[in-house]
Amino acid sequence: MPVTAKLSRGFYEKLGDELANELVEWFNQVDATYRTDLRELNELNFARFDAKVEQRFAQSDAKWEQRFAQSDAKWEQRFAQADAKLEQRVTELRTEIRVGLQTLETKLIRWMFLFWIGQAATTVGLVFGAVKLVGR
């Protein structure tokens, strides 16, 4: 809101209307010039401030992006390591189960042969015993 300079009636009486009006006009021009200069200076300062804020936000965004990328890489590496460990453990368990089943199979076959031999001996014994009883 511009302020118009006014002079007291005493100035007009001593200097005259023309000179007093020139002085008032000069004051108003100086005021308008200073206002314009101040507005331009404020706009320049705001533009610089805005540019710095934008630059800092861009730098901050870049830092966060870098940190997120590093974090993602670390997590990916940890997941890969955990996956490799899990795969190795599963392979070891499969091997242990296979060996255990083979051992169990061997023991079962051994016991089956022993059972069959025992059955065969008992059957042969019963047959010969029955033959002796019948042949008497």
Distances (CA, A) of 17 to 28, 30, 68, 100: 16, 20, 75, 121
Do the domain assignments include residue 40? yes
Consecutive H or E run containing 89: helix 17-135
Nearest to 52 by CA among 60, 64, 40: 60
Residue 20 lies in a domain: yes
Q: Is residue 134 part of a domain?
A: no
Torsion sign, CA atoms 101, 103, 107, 113: positive
CA distance 31 to 23: 12
Higher pLDDT, 116 or 132: 116
pTM over 0.85: no
Domain count along the chain:
1
Question: Quick check: is 80 in a domain?
Answer: yes
- With respect to residue 88, please indicate whether it lies within any of the assigned structural domains: yes
Inside any domain, residue 26: yes
> Is 73 part of a structural domain of the chain?
yes
Q: Tell whether 92 is covered by a domain.
A: yes
pLDDT in tens, 32-89: 999 999 999 999 999 999 999 999 999 999 999 999 999 999 999 999 999 999 999 9
Q: Which domain holds residue 72?
A: 9-102
d(CA 21, CA 7): 9
User: How many Å apart are CA 90 and CA 75, to the nearest integer?
Assistant: 22
Position 128 scores a pLDDT of 87
Kindly calculate the radius of gyration of the chain based on its CA atoms and give it in whole angstroms: 54
